[in-house]
Structure 1
Amino acid sequence: MSEARRKAAPSRARRKKHWALRVVGWLLALFFLGVIGAAATFFIGYQTTDIPDPNKAFQMNTTTVYYSDNETELGSFYDQNRKSVPLNQIPKTVQDAVIAAEDRTFWTNPGVSPSGMARAAFNIARGQQLQGGSTITQQYVKIMYLTQERTFSRKFSELFIATKLSRQTDKKEILEGYLNTIYFGEGAYGISAAGDAYFSEPDPKKLTVDQTALLATVLNNPSYFDPDKAVAQKRILERYRYVLDGMRIGGTISEAQYAKFSKALPKLDKPQKPGRFAGTKGYLLAMAREELETLGYTPEEISGGGLRVVTTFEIGKQNEAVRAGTTQLPKKNAGLHVGLASVRPGTGELVAMYGGVDFLKSELNWARLRARPGSSFKPFAVAAALENDRSLYDTFQGTSPIEINGEEKNNEFDRDYGAQVTLLRATKLSINTAFYDLVDKQMDDGPSKVVDAAEAAGIPKTAALERGRNQSSTVLGPDPYASPVEMANAYATFAAGGMYTPVHTIKTVTSPGNAKNFDQKDKYKPERKFDKAIADQVNFALMSVTEDGGSGERAQKLDREVAGKTGTAGGVAVEHRAKNTKCDGCLEGDDTLTSWWTGYTPQLSTSVLYRAGKTGEGDLDPFSDDAAFFGGNWPLKTWLAYMEPALGSSDEVKFDEPDPDSMDSPTPTFTPTTPSITPTTPPPSKPSDPPSTPPSTPPSTPPSTPPSTPDDPPTTKPTRPTRPPITFPTGPNDPPGEGEGGGGGGGNGNGNNQ
């Protein structure tokens, strides 16, 4: 190698080193420029930001709720209950509980939390909602001086104002303002109103330690930590213990007090709600408010944001629903509960709902509380069968009993309907054994397919419903709990030709300045769940239920094309469970616990449910002269009392006829067949027939007419077949249970024929 080339190599190395140093220098320069720029930006922002006058918007504006006509007022949300209390009248335990919950460095921090701000900035950079990281000072600034919007500009204003306020104002003054303005839920602003709302105690000095800790728990997020929500109890208890632990660490309470109070939440003692929630309107307002929260409106915005809310409830139909639910009842009705829900197919609009007599006396909404649907679940089995290439004219076992997985399953009163019955006839007469044969013997993974069809139609996916995927009795609904609101909307999916739209109560929301408007068309859009050909056939099958001899033949009084299905679920009523335990299950299956009729036209889908007793688990049978409280009797009568005036003089709309090519029959016309039947008990007479004397022996030849419908009352009540017990799961829409629940088809399926 030449001398010249040896000297060139070090020169290149030096150039690389110099280049690396330059890059490092540039990066350091950019870093310092960034720091200087950020400091300058903060300094300028701090200097140019003035503490504004207290927010006039805090003087809350009433939110008004209207019926669907956008003119008739349904009610309002103006629950601003606020009474200021000087800090010297607020005990240290109350102050320390709130500080332990929201800002444990309140007395020493500069009014802002840098780590919290960084976390909020990181969230918004990832496209998430700007939230969290707020100190007590920042929260107070947001309430008194700024809007509730979550944007960078508002957050930076909050940062500058909180910093300046913390430097210029005594922390005690900030804490006093915060404790008198923060929202605790239940329309309560400030600690005095909160004590009154949750414990009927407006004087903060009289609040106990555990009550104070719960209030501090709730204020973090009144909706998420709502003590009235059963699903929130676990997270509330965890947050409550976190607050108590902060009070223990701060020396406010002792170890013994922490051990005592952390065991359980204190008992609530709420005063009666305002009179504007009285009567049946309270159920509508409560449901509308809940939906507003799911749409992203905060409790503060709902209670005092000056919103104009237009609901889907139609005042004429709503009045008729209330009339039907309160007047079209058995003469003996003390302890009876009626739930009625009416949905417009294709839109998901809940146009009417009857949930109870008086919201102030009981907040249990019987139109939203879930119950076992019994045979009301069979239409989903029909849809599942059609989706799996079965036909309405395929035949299945109609004799009773049928053996499924080693267990005997029966028809109601153990009736026989013939060795082979079509699916169409099985639907019309609600023949249990035929549906067991279809789902559990003739379809692979049948129960799971029934669940799939139910969820597609609109029955919410729940743990109870999912359990049904592995149970032979799923077709008779032992586990798939549903409410009248949910059932009405699921049947509406078929009425709409297989198009599902989420059920809802809010049409539009208009906010002041149009800052946060909402229109149902932007959120609730129809989605195809079933082929129209399948939906048409389901409608056709359910129309047969309302024909002569069908379990819902009374629906003919509407004088329109109607499709629908009855449903009953049996078991052991709560008043009989102690006796049932003593006799080792001798009463299982004797009682009727739920009774349904869900019927629809192309214009309106309405579901009616009857229940009895304080928790809805009482025996319905004593309220009826029938063999049992069948869905084709009082539930259908109540349905008619609503549907006749609700449809009024509107033009009749007929269902689309099924395509003959999609059915295994020359024409989609139902022709009743005469089953081979050997009744074990004489068939009951129709309701209009006079009582007859039963024959001493069964007839030796089959009757020339189809057997009477299961809704026809016999002259004497026959002995009911045994039904196995079930448990009553408690969900967010379920009433509290009392011990073991009754059954109806969970094992032998005897109680769900209707």
Structure 2
Amino acid sequence: MGRAEERRARQRAGRRAAPRRSRPMAAETGGPAAAAPGKPAKSRIRRIFGWKKILGTFFGVCLLGILGFIGLYLYVDVPQGNAAAQQQSNVYKFSDGTILARNGKVNREIVDLSKVPRKVQLTFVAAENKSFYHDSGVDFRGTARGLINTALGRGKQGGSTITQQYVKNYYLNQDQTVTRKLKELVISLKVDREKSKDDILAGYINTSYYGRNAYGIQAAAQAYFGVDAEDLKVEQGAYLAALLQAPSQYDWAVATDTGKKLVTERWNYVLNNMVEEGWLPKAKRDALHFPKIKEPKGAPGLGGQKGYLVELANQQLERQLMAQEGLTASQAENAVVDKGWTITLDIDRKKQSALERTVKAQLTSKLNPKQRKVDGDIQAGAVSVDPKTGRIVALYGGQDYYKHWTSNATRRDYQPASTFKPVILAAALEQNATTQDGQPITANTVYDGTSRRPVLDHGSRVGFAPPNEDDFSYDDITVQQAMNKSVNSVFAQMGVDVGMSKVMSTAGELGMDTKGMQAVPAQTLGSMGASPLEMAGIYATFANHGYKVTPTIIKSAVNKGRSVDLPNPVGGSVISRTAADTVTSVLTGVVDDGTASESVARNPLRGGQQVAGKTGTSDENKSAWFTGYTPTLVTSVGLFGEDPKTRAHVSMKGATGLLPPPGRINGGGYPAKIWAAYTFSVARKAQFDLNTTQGAAVAPVETPTISQTPTQTPSRTPSSAPPTSESPTQTPSQSPSQTPSRTPSQTPSQTPTTSPPTTPITEDPLDPEGNFGQ
């Protein structure tokens, strides 16, 4: 053995021996080695989680994934197209199980792609998948994101190619499961290899759902523009391409302001993408205008009220699928319409029939458009809700679904006017608000009822001074009396006392869609938009002692043995019971001593039934409302002035032959009459169970005093009393009124007693013309 070899052998022997010598020494002496007990553990971690093993594991998982995908690719075949087979009749039933409607005739006509103008074809590519002509048919990143989100229950996220959407429409379904997404991925790859891009695009535009019961581009072209697909212009094609994202929401004829804004943005997005891709000259694009959309027609078999009921049921089911399964609006609509659902509604057959008969007897039978043009402008809507369950038991959407596509029961484009006043009172009570001199706001709080009195915020004018109805001015008046007579000046001041942001927050809690609404004093007059459905939900929450009621029309929804879980229409408390019951107590005064007394309190069918409610008549008499309730039934009735040709909001004055002055349709007139005749014929009698010491239901009501002001006309005299009803046929009482007595708790705020100005008032930003709702 050489020296070098001996040296290496000694070194090896030394390394092997060293640990044996050092361990006992360290343990015995407490030397440095004793402080390193973790080294063996670290070595074990390194041996278990070494970078080589981690890298190996990663590549192993990747290999397994690749092998699994190859196996899946070989296993999954392209199935037979089943789009037509998926179209089945939906069956809609009344709450007792009897058939309401069966709707399912498929409106589709397949057209060859050569029949569709080339630039119209490109609008769909620009809208959905700009890389369509050179991709593999799959968006791997979007699909992976969708798989992960679906597995984690986060819903649908990420985009799909046109090929993938075609596969969902034609070969698969809209289910949001990992299995379905994997199949979609494989089938899309195969379809992209087996079919030309033109074949895929043709399949996509011919199988997509465009709303209005229109499947495919030919049916859509007819439904929205009254032309064949081959005659579509590029701006029309861009609209249809934009429409696919949310067919019902983007249908211009029935869209909300938000929906119109969104579809316009989407339309511009499509055309701008075409310019960006070089498919449309910028000069031509700049010359294009948003197309005119044809008025819709009802689907077969849905005449009368059926269409309105089916439409709301579909919308609520679609929203539930979006929330529950993470579908987009387009996917949800495509998953509901004509897909073999059996949907049982909450609609009570007897109440529904009674509501329809009542509207005809009290209103539509009196309309004669041939004799009076304004009679053709009158639209009625109503929603009736059980406040204990939240179920919609009856609904009136218009005279006929075929004649008027827009449901007057759910439309939100008319002002609720003074039916909003109870929300202001509810906010005041819930917030324990005070007047600006520190007095608690209760039913007995005294305000200055002067018409056109400037609203003040701690001594400063806010630029708002609304007139009362017919410009009547009152002396000091309690909140109860102000609610009875719908005194605008009182509630305008109260809104500022409470804080308009708090008022609008309470409105949102109660169920009003306040998104985008400004918290300004003009809102105290109900100058926002609202639907009878919304107002019925708000008042149902009052009737249900402050527990949130979200009206629902669906009792159950079943598809191929699968039931959809439906949310409870009655939720938790959003305002205290005392606040809700006080509002109810105050609103009984409107019926017994106020603007609804003539039509409701004196109805011979009432028979002692306790009733709470509020009238409303909007600016320029474009809408009139009565929303009221008994302990067992809440119903909101709205009348709307709408030009049948332009859909513009118009005045209802003079309808049914009402003569001036003032000749207007007020909330205390036809809406209250419809409400009373319907409610007293179907609601079982019951008494309110109120937890409050305030309001007309538990305390006597005194008649307010009217004062003469410079704003009154010369023909008015101080002895004139205010109308006891909003009905235009009412004659003011000539008997003298009693001034309300003051108690220590009724000391009026010093701010509201300011005298009315003789100079013009600065307009409110929501009502620049100074036309304020009554």
TM-score between both structures, scaled by the size of structure 1? 0.77
8 Å CA contact retained: 2:274, 2:280? yes
Deviation for aligned residue 1:410: 5.3
Cα distance in 2 for residues equivalent to 1:259 and 1:436: 46
8 Å CA contact retained: 1:429, 1:550? yes
In structure 2, do the counterparts of structure 1 residues 245 and 377 end up closer, same or farther at CA, with 3 Å as the change threshold?
closer
What does residue 380 of structure 1 align with?
Answer: 423
What does residue 356 of structure 2 align with?
Answer: 322
Greater CA drift, 480-489 or 37-46: 480-489
In structure 2, do the counterparts of structure 1 residues 194 and 438 end up closer, same or farther at CA, with 3 Å as the change threshold?
closer
Task: Report matched runs for 1:505-544 at 5 Å.
Answer: 505-514=553-562, 517-520=563-566, 522-544=567-589
In structure 2, do the counterparts of structure 1 residues 59 and 326 end up closer, same or farther at CA, with 3 Å as the change threshold?
same
Cα distance in 1 for residues equivalent to 2:661 and 2:241: 55
SS class of match (1:672): coil
Cα distance in 2 for residues equivalent to 1:644 and 1:403: 41
Cα distance in 2 for residues equivalent to 1:241 and 1:392: 53
Greater CA drift, 546-555 or 354-363: 546-555
8 Å CA contact retained: 1:101, 1:217? yes
Establish whether residue 547 from structure 1 lines up as the match of residue 601 from structure 2.
no
Q: Which residue identity lines up with residue 567 of structure 1 in the other structure?
A: G
8 Å CA contact retained: 1:393, 1:423? yes
Deviation for aligned residue 1:705: 10
Establish whether residue 493 from structure 1 lines up as the match of residue 550 from structure 2.
no
Q: Which residue identity lines up with residue 447 of structure 2 in the other structure?
A: F
Cα distance in 2 for residues equivalent to 1:380 and 1:197: 41
What does residue 216 of structure 2 align with?
Answer: 190
Deviations 1:73-128 (CA, angstroms, capped at 9, x unpaired): 1x344252222234454554444443443344444433333233233234335542
Deviation for aligned residue 1:618: 1.2
In structure 2, do the counterparts of structure 1 residues 190 and 149 end up closer, same or farther at CA, with 3 Å as the change threshold?
same
- Gaps (5+ residues) in structure 1? 574-591, 707-720, 730-739, 746-751
Q: Which residue identity lines up with residue 670 of structure 1 in the other structure?
A: P
Deviation for aligned residue 1:21: 13
Deviation for aligned residue 1:561: 0.9
What does residue 502 of structure 1 align with?
Answer: 550
8 Å CA contact retained: 2:467, 2:772? no
SS class of match (2:175): coil
Residue 508 of structure 2 is aligned with which of 455, 472, 476?
455
8 Å CA contact retained: 1:376, 1:566? yes
8 Å CA contact retained: 1:723, 1:743? no
Task: Report matched runs for 1:123-134 at 5 Å.
Answer: 123-124=149-150, 127-134=153-160
In structure 2, do the counterparts of structure 1 residues 90 and 523 end up closer, same or farther at CA, with 3 Å as the change threshold?
same
Q: Which residue identity lines up with residue 456 of structure 1 in the other structure?
A: E
User: Cα RMSD (Å) of the superposition?
Assistant: 4.1
Establish whether residue 744 from structure 1 lines up as the match of residue 772 from structure 2.
yes
What does residue 68 of structure 1 align with?
Answer: 95
Cα distance in 2 for residues equivalent to 1:605 and 1:309: 24
Cα distance in 2 for residues equivalent to 1:328 and 1:447: 37
What does residue 206 of structure 1 align with?
Answer: 231
8 Å CA contact retained: 2:543, 2:629? yes
8 Å CA contact retained: 1:196, 1:270? no
SS class of match (1:490): helix
Establish whether residue 83 from structure 1 lines up as the match of residue 109 from structure 2.
yes
SS class of match (1:296): helix
8 Å CA contact retained: 1:342, 1:604? yes
In structure 2, do the counterparts of structure 1 residues 195 and 619 end up closer, same or farther at CA, with 3 Å as the change threshold?
closer
8 Å CA contact retained: 1:346, 1:500? no
Greater CA drift, 523-532 or 245-254: 245-254
8 Å CA contact retained: 2:212, 2:299? no
Deviation for aligned residue 1:415: 4.3
SS class of match (2:321): coil
Q: Which residue identity lines up with residue 516 of structure 2 in the other structure?
A: A
Residue 423 of structure 1 is aligned with which of 445, 468, 479?
479
Deviation for aligned residue 1:64: 2.0
SS class of match (1:596): strand
8 Å CA contact retained: 2:213, 2:299? no
Greater CA drift, 18-27 or 382-391: 18-27
Deviation for aligned residue 1:741: 6.5
- Gaps (5+ residues) in structure 2? 1-9, 20-38, 323-331, 433-439, 709-716, 741-758
In structure 2, do the counterparts of structure 1 residues 480 and 303 end up closer, same or farther at CA, with 3 Å as the change threshold?
closer
Establish whether residue 669 from structure 1 lines up as the match of residue 711 from structure 2.
no
Deviation for aligned residue 1:307: 0.7
In structure 2, do the counterparts of structure 1 residues 705 and 625 end up closer, same or farther at CA, with 3 Å as the change threshold?
farther
Residue 52 of structure 1 is aligned with which of 79, 91, 98?
79
What does residue 634 of structure 1 align with?
Answer: 670
SS class of match (2:514): coil
Cα distance in 1 for residues equivalent to 2:599 and 2:278: 71
Q: Which residue identity lines up with residue 180 of structure 1 in the other structure?
A: N
Establish whether residue 312 from structure 1 lines up as the match of residue 346 from structure 2.
yes
8 Å CA contact retained: 2:706, 2:718? no
Deviation for aligned residue 1:532: 1.9
Establish whether residue 29 from structure 1 lines up as the match of residue 56 from structure 2.
yes
Greater Cα radius of gyration, structure 1 or 2: 2
In structure 2, do the counterparts of structure 1 residues 399 and 78 end up closer, same or farther at CA, with 3 Å as the change threshold?
same
Establish whether residue 286 from structure 1 lines up as the match of residue 311 from structure 2.
yes
8 Å CA contact retained: 1:79, 1:303? no
SS class of match (1:276): coil
In structure 2, do the counterparts of structure 1 residues 433 and 179 end up closer, same or farther at CA, with 3 Å as the change threshold?
closer
SS class of match (1:598): strand
TM-score between both structures, scaled by the size of structure 2? 0.75
In structure 2, do the counterparts of structure 1 residues 167 and 603 end up closer, same or farther at CA, with 3 Å as the change threshold?
same
SS class of match (1:526): strand
Deviation for aligned residue 1:189: 2.6
Cα distance in 1 for residues equivalent to 2:732 and 2:106: 68
Deviation for aligned residue 1:357: 1.8
What does residue 712 of structure 1 align with?
Answer: none
User: Once the two structures are aligned, what percentage of the paired residues are identical?
Assistant: 32
Cα distance in 2 for residues equivalent to 1:316 and 1:85: 46
Cα distance in 2 for residues equivalent to 1:481 and 1:101: 32
In structure 2, do the counterparts of structure 1 residues 278 and 742 end up closer, same or farther at CA, with 3 Å as the change threshold?
farther
8 Å CA contact retained: 1:140, 1:177? yes
In structure 2, do the counterparts of structure 1 residues 257 and 126 end up closer, same or farther at CA, with 3 Å as the change threshold?
farther
